[in-house]
Chains A and B, each alone.
Chain A
Amino acid sequence: MTEDLSTPLFLLSPLAVLGAGLMVALVVGLSLQRFQIPKLYGAVIAGLLLGSSGAGLIDRALLGQFQELMNGAAALVLFDVGRKMDLAWLLRSGRQGRSLLLATLARGGAAALVLGVLGLPWGAAVFIGSILIAVNPVILSSMIADENASGTSTFASANMVGVSNLVALLALGITLAWTRSHGVDADAGSGFGAELVRQGGKLALGAAIAGLCYALYALATRLCKVPATMRPGMLLAALLIDLGLCSVTASSALLSLLLMGVLLRNAEKRDNVFQAQLATAQDIGYVLLFLMSAALVDLPQLLQEARQPRVLLAAVAVFLLRVAATRLALWPASAWDARKKHAMALSMCSLVSYGGLVVDSTLNAYTGLDPTSTAVMGALLTLNVLLAPGLTWLGLRLAGETYRGGSQ
């Protein structure tokens, strides 16, 4: 019987394959860290070795089996993003808060403009632009944790990630409605208005679920008067209820969890001391999520596209212009010196996939775009996996807010 099995047993288990990927990512990442290279590149290398670009062990089919897990993890990442949003500061810090919002809009606007000018259909350009508003929370949070970054620009960057993801989720609701009603695979019976109501409904329902679950959590904490450090279990329970309700109602889990974070931070100010309890799980989660992203990168495909310079050129132009637009928008702010502004612009270079903003079964790609737009988005995601961790790391180092302990 064993003679019939040409595949090692562990490869038959998706869980074992993913575990092996995580092990490789951590071993490589931690080894790289000794040479001052960001740990997240362990996940990049493991993803490239085991994913579509390499052995093909981790592919869409395998990851599809972990869709629920991935959706939950992505939503929990957004929860933490929301928890870092300081609404009082954003609203009352004057030019600081305004410049972060401006940078958020400028990133998406610049991306859409460049793509449109380079010949993509304007509808697709704006659709991609709305996705590119968002900064990748996994990359920034992971780098902040790895480099033990703390300081004013790190604080502002964390706020900008929150703002960018919130704005992107709202903008994507509109552009998705347009693309679904006018895109290449538009449903003839579905008009823009109807789609807009559908997308808006998902967001509104997600927000309502966040309000409900937050109220449940607040009630539970008042029934059980123990210090906040003893309540992470209650928080987890509330988050699971939120995720479950979003799943059965097909509402926006990402917006819902993001808003849960915002509520916890800004309405229940005295319950925000879960850092220590969450740190280890977050570290592992970041590596796993990025490993999955890297596994979906198709390097041979990118190399093939390099022969069509238009796609690669568009991706590189968008990548660079997002950084430039962010830097320009930070100009009026007075809280950070020029070096920190450069640093923040670099740290905000990462981007998210469509799947990173809309939790569904499509993983990274949205199929409603024309082939060129899809190729540009693919190239952008590849650049994101290859370059963004390094540039984000460079930004944090440039800000001078990283710390490895010990004597100077």
Chain B
Amino acid sequence: MSDMSIDPSLQDAQALANAGQGPAYLPDFKASTPGTMGIELELMVLDRLTYDLFPAAPDILRLLDKEDKPWVHTPEITTSMLEVATSILTSFDAAAEQLEHIRQTVQRAAFEVGAAVSGGGAHPFQKWHEQRIYPKERYFASERKYGYLAKLFTVFGMHVHIGAGDADEAMRLTAWLTQRAPLFIALSANSPCWQGEVSGFCSSRSNVVGAFPMSGILPFELRTWQDFRDHFDRLAAHGIVNSIKDFYWDVRPKPEYGTIELRVLDTPLKPVHAAALACYARELVLEWVDQPGRWPGNASRELYVWNRFNAARDGVEGSWIDPESGATSSIVEAVRADLARLRGRTRDPGFDKACGVIEALMRDGGQAGWLRAHLEAGGGMNDLARMASEMFEHGAP
């Protein structure tokens, strides 16, 4: 991952393109160091009485502006969401430490204005129509473009950026990481309720993004950055896309950072979960980096969609069809096999700890299972939101 700073003139062009106010713009892919990583978390802002979503993000962001810190904070599409992003990281320990600092700082700012914060992929009982669009032109443009989908998108994800080296390599690594993305859906799944109902899915959030026209995955035929640029230009000529942000793919290249971005995870209930899952993704990418020129052998979109569906519905208790071998196994077995292989080649001294955290995430049905157990014990939806908030606020481990 390269330096996060972007040339101001390019930044302006991109900002206008993002807001739908300027011409379509796709920046050049910035060179980066493979395996560097950054983590973005979208957090819920909650009312301390009802634990419903609470439109206090602008006030929290104003307090965070005053903090001297290595990470950044930004608004999100509605005023009950806020996003935080780490600096460039290279190990589990550094990730866990910075995410814990983020948690403490955000929690303190939220308490100061009378709010609570929480992880989790979807709020269990919020009503989409009650959400308020963040007062910023880019988000109003989204609302104009997508109508009610903009508010429906009040879901909370974790995005992992991983340095890809160069532009063509980013396309190859995106294809590989896309294949594995359902495993991350399963491990992070923690949104078993949606709009006040038990949804029957471990990750309800995963179904929301599918409503956007440019959701899905990188088309398999795009093998080079030039292929992607041509694809972008064709879509832009039809007015379908205006910037990279219009691609709601599960994994997408992020040219201005020199990264590929894994976007399928529910925001974990604890920061340490986020650090562990990001390191798992990072180690996978590093493994593919060491196999130059090799592409995934199976391009079946249907197989991907099926794996994704299973992971979203059943979480860590789901099944997995390995796209390369075609063998069916449980998600737990697939993840354990990955971790065992990656442990043997990692250079991150903290990766063992990350594996321990992931192992814990696969116990008792994972995060979704923990939340469901609370409901089955008689807890209501408000209690569920409260429990999630308390888990986040108690921090590590």
Interface residues of A (CB under 8 A from B): 83-84, 86, 89, 92-94, 96, 150-152, 155-156, 159, 225, 227-229, 265, 269-270, 272-273, 275, 334-337, 340, 400-401, 403, 405, 407-408
Contacts and interface: CB of A to CB of B under 8 A. Distances in A.
B57 to A, nearest CB: 10
A340 B113 CA distance: 12
Given A405-B129, A407-B143, A152 B49 contact: no
Nearest to A275: B50
A400 B386 CA distance: 27
B56 interface: yes
Contacts of A275: 50
B48 A152 contact: no
A96 B132 contact: no
Contacts of A407: 133, 143-144
A156 B114 contact: yes
Contacts of A273: 50, 380, 382
A93 B59 CA distance: 15
Contact of B382 (A159, A228, A400): A228
Contacts of B49: 83-84, 86, 265, 272
A86 B114 contact: yes
A151 B140 contact: no
A328 B329 CA distance: 67
Interface string B100-119: 00000000000111110000
Given A86-B49, A93-B111, A335-B113, A227 B54 contact: no
A273 B379 CA distance: 12
Report, as a range, how many residues of chain B touch the other chain.
20 to 34
A interface secondary structure, majority: loop
Looking at B112, B132, B383, which has the most chain A CB atoms within 10 Å of its CB?
A: B112
Nearest to B143: A407
Given A151-B54, A155-B48, A155-B54, 5 more contacts: A89-B114, A93-B111, A228-B380, A273-B380, A403-B132
A405 B128 CA distance: 11
A152, A272, A337, A407: most-surrounded residue (chain B CB, <10 A): A152
B108 to A, nearest CB: 10
Nearest to A230: B380
Contacts of A228: 380, 382
For B111, B133, B140, B379, the residue with the greatest tally of chain A CB atoms inside 10 Å of its CB is B111
Contacts of B132: 403
A195 to B, nearest CB: 38
Contacts of B54: 150-151, 155
Interface string B180-204: 0000000000000000000000000
B63 A335 contact: yes
Contacts of B379: 227
B113 A152 contact: yes
Given A225-B378, A401-B55, A155 B114 contact: yes
B62 interface: yes
Nearest to B378: A225
A334 B50 CA distance: 24
A270 B382 CA distance: 8
A96 B112 contact: yes
A89 to B, nearest CB: 5
A155 B45 CA distance: 14
Interface in B135-160: 135, 140, 143-144
A400 B59 CA distance: 11
18 contacts: A89-B114, A93-B111, A151-B55, A151-B56, A151-B59, A155-B114, A272-B49, A272-B382, A273-B380, A275-B50, A335-B59, A335-B114, A336-B59, A336-B113, A401-B55, A403-B132, A407-B133, A407-B144
A152 B144 contact: no
A227 B62 CA distance: 37
The 5 closest A-B CB pairs, nearest first, are A227-B380, A152-B113, A155-B114, A152-B59, A335-B113
Contacts of A272: 49-50, 382
Contacts of B48: 86, 89, 155
Nearest to A265: B49
Nearest to B49: A272
B112 A93 contact: yes
A340 B62 CA distance: 13
Nearest to A85: B49
Nearest to A228: B380
Nearest to A96: B112
A334 B63 contact: yes
Contacts of A336: 59, 113
